Amino acid sequence: MFPPLVKTSIFYLAVLTLPACSSISVHDPMGSNKKNVINLTYCIKSSSEMNTLKHTTTHKENLNLFKEDIKDAVNDINMKFKSNTNHLQHLHITELPDCVAPSQLVDNTTDLYLTLELSGYGTIKEEWKTVLIATGIAEGIIQGVVVSAATQNPWLGLAVGAEEIGQEYLTWNGVDWVLGETYAPVTLEGNLLYLKDQQTIWHDSSFVTENESELNATQKKDKSLQLKASLHKTEDELLTGLDNYLEIEILNPLTSNKQP
């Protein structure tokens, strides 16, 4: 079993590398497209699990606070996205009130379908936590097999493996509590689909644990304000990358193809 300090280091290393592993950026995905305008339809959704914002309130009050914060966060992402893309010429943007399956957009004039997802707000993304727990379980099984083979005692191996698995499960499930108490983690993801061939042409994630430069000493004591500050940082990171991709890989080739 890894010591606590090593586990903490592994956690941060794992979480920081997970978003990078999922990054996708396809060069000139639309090829020799000769359209005058590129139609982009987008939606914003949240899949974040609830986390406690104020320990002095009831569960129901916290739930209401969380729902209100998520609503504000989605609106903030929307405004930031619009301000980032307003300067892009030859791009016609349509907002969807709710995210739908790409198959529902195939028959209309949309060329690109963008989904922005707030997948962690005060917690880490469930998918990432599942990966970390699965890694710990695998470690427990291996340790059990090694002990069993070394001692010729399958029951001892089973006990060691079960103990390791239990401790790993508790450790990684406690990550949300540690982060929630100490930091303000926010995860924002973006996925851009070219509907003609149903292929993802751009995907990226931004994971931020804090953004202290935006807050004064009093504001740093308010979890809601801490999360908003982290959100602003994820928006800057993710949407700047998206903006650059749209300009370089979608719109620049469009205008270049019109040159004699």
**48 touches 122 (CB < 8 A):** yes
Nearest to 100 by CA among 189, 14, 26, 193: 193
CA atoms within 13 A on the CB side of 160: 18
**pLDDT for res 241:** 95
Cα 162 to Cα 141: distance, rounded to the nearest angstrom: 8
pLDDT beyond 50 at 129:
yes
Instruction: Give SS3 for 165.
Output: helix
Task: Write out pLDDT tens, residues 64-103.
Answer: 888 899 999 999 999 999 999 988 888 999 999 999 999 8
Determine the average pLDDT of the residues in 121-130: 68
Complete edge-to-edge strand list for the sheet that includes strand 91-95: 24-25, 199-208, 186-194, 112-121, 38-46, 91-95
Task: Write out pLDDT tens, residues 199-251.
Answer: 999 999 998 888 889 989 888 888 888 899 999 999 999 999 999 999 999 98
Q: Beta strand 24-25 with 199-208: parallel, antiparallel or unpaired?
A: antiparallel
Helices of type H across the chain: 4-21, 59-85, 126-151, 154-173, 175-182, 223-245, 252-256
Task: Write out pLDDT tens, residues 29-60.
Answer: 887 666 788 999 999 999 988 665 555 567 78
Task: Write out pLDDT tens, residues 145-159.
Answer: 454 455 555 554 455
Determine the average pLDDT of the residues in 162-178: 46
Q: Which residues contact 258 (CB under 8 A, 6 or more apart)?
A: 34
Q: What are phi and psi of 56, to 5 degrees?
A: -90, 0
Give just the sign of the alpha carbon dihedral 237, 39, 100, 27.
Answer: negative
CA 168 and chain centroid, separation: 23
Cα 229 to Cα 210: distance, rounded to the nearest angstrom: 7
> Which stretches does DSSP call E strand in the chain?
24-25, 38-46, 91-95, 112-121, 186-194, 199-208
Q: Which residue has the tokens 């060329």?
A: 111
**pLDDT for res 162:** 47
**65 touches 71 (CB < 8 A):** no
Q: Which residues contact 230 (CB under 8 A, 6 or more apart)?
A: 184, 185, 186, 208, 209, 210, 211
Cα 131 to Cα 256: distance, rounded to the nearest angstrom: 43
Supply the angle between the helices 175-182 and 126-151 in degrees, to the nearest 10. Answer: 130
Nearest to 19 by CA among 231, 203, 147, 216: 203
